[in-house]
């Protein structure tokens, strides 16, 4: 009986798997570490084996799969199912991963999607965005990923780069971003750039309790910043304010673009908790118009690391309901 949906989250550190029933209940899950020496054949075999094991745990086998969903970071040609390059998988180059995985599991239908999109679709289906029709999603990690859902569908864009919200410009002429633009929200508010701004400030002579951390560990993380913020460090406060200001501004701009019911933030940075969320809302309220009261809610994701596998499986279920 074909009543199983498989969600795969092909990450830079781990490949995660979830086996779901047709109501998206998680039956079993697992992960394997991503290793730099893995070629496509090894990865596909590991994916196949792990899924078979997870299926057998719940007395199922690949024949029971209706559709497979898989999320992966770019650059990729998602509609064609091809990974152009993969962080931490240097042997991957124009690898037709979707076709290979599908073949390994009995030529089951597969949907291949950007990993920010799958995580967003997970939160939309079962997490912070549940019940909303329109949603905007940010992941605050090494970079800032983004995704938009309009009327229940992911906004994919004319060249598969819709929802690259980390590269919306909030401070024109501002900090240089890895993408070559100046003033992107990613240049201020990712976990990496938040920490980097603190490091730069200390190196430029700012007084901060974070200086000891930098001297001892040789680096500062966004977690350090929130810890020192709790202890009242003024630089930690200044850095967090700018992070929140950049995020508040991008929320105002997305309000005026697609006017979502929910703007959901996810990723390691949300561990900071209310100290960050309340400041994002503060800057949203500071910058937003006063014409009307807004219904858009700004909140944190609720599914944690499972959002990717849940979203991939939920997309697989969506696909299964559609004609070719």
Q: Which residues bind a second copy (CB under 8 A)?
A: 132-134, 146, 148, 150-151, 153, 155-159, 161-172, 177, 179-182, 249, 252-254, 256-261, 287-292, 294-296
Residue 128 C-beta: closest distance to a second copy, Å:
15
Residue 259 C-beta: closest distance to a second copy, Å:
3
- Contact residues for 149 (Cβ-Cβ < 8 A; gap 6+): 120, 121, 124, 129, 132, 133, 134, 135, 136, 137, 155, 260
Q: How far apart are CA 243 and CA 225, in angstroms?
A: 11
Query: By the 8 A CB rule, do 60 and 314 touch?
Result: no
Q: How far apart are CA 116 and CA 311, in angstroms?
A: 10
Q: Which two tokens stand for residue 185?
A: 């929200």
Query: In terms of CB distance, is 77 or 206 closer to a second copy?
Result: 77
Query: In terms of CB distance, is 164 or 224 closer to a second copy?
Result: 164
Identify the DSSP state of 7: E
Residue 220 C-beta: closest distance to a second copy, Å:
26
Query: In terms of CB distance, is 50 or 258 closer to a second copy?
Result: 258
- Contact residues for 212 (Cβ-Cβ < 8 A; gap 6+): none
β-strands 135-140, 144-150 pairing = antiparallel
Query: In terms of CB distance, is 168 or 276 closer to a second copy?
Result: 168
Burial class (CB in 10 A: 0-12, 13-18, 19+), 135: buried
Query: In terms of CB distance, is 126 or 249 closer to a second copy?
Result: 249
Residue 269 C-beta: closest distance to a second copy, Å:
20
Residue 69 C-beta: closest distance to a second copy, Å:
19
């Amino acid at each position: 009986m074909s009543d199983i949906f498989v969600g795969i989250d092909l990450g830079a550190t781990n490949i995660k798997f979830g086996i779901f029933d047709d109501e998206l209940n998680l039956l079993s899950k697992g992960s394997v570490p991503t290793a730099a020496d893995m070629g496509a054949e090894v990865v596909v075999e590991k994916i196949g084996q792990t899924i078979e094991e997870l299926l057998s745990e719940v007395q199922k086998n690949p024949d029971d799969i209706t559709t497979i969903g898989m999320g992966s970071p770019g650059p990729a040609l998602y509609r064609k199912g091809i990974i152009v390059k993969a962080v931490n998988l240097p042997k991957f180059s124009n690898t037709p991963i979707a076709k290979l995985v599908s073949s390994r599991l009995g030529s089951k239908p597969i949907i291949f999607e950007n990993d920010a999109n799958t995580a967003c679709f997970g939160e939309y289906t079962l997490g912070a965005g549940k019940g909303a029709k329109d949603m905007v999603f940010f992941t605050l990690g090494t970079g800032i990923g983004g995704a938009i859902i309009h009327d229940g569908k992911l906004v994919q864009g004319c060249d598969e780069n819709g929802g690259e919200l980390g590269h919306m410009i909030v401070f024109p002429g501002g900090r240089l971003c890895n993408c070559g633009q100046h003033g992107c929200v990613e240049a201020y508010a990712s976990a990496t750039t938040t920490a980097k701004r603190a490091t730069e400030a200390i190196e430029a002579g700012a007084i901060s309790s974070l200086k000891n951390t930098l001297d001892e560990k040789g680096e500062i993380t966004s977690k350090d910043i929130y810890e020192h913020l709790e202890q009242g460090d003024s630089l930690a406060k200044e850095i967090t304010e700018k992070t929140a200001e950049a995020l508040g501004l991008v929320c105002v701009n997305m309000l005026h673009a697609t006017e979502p019911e929910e703007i959901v933030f996810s990723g390691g940075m949300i561990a900071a908790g209310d100290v960050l969320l309340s400041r994002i809302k503060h800057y949203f309220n500071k910058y937003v118009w006063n014409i009307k009261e807004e219904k858009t809610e700004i909140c944190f994701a609720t599914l944690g690391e499972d959002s990717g596998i849940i979203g991939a499986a939920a997309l697989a279920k969506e696909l299964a309901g559609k004609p070719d």
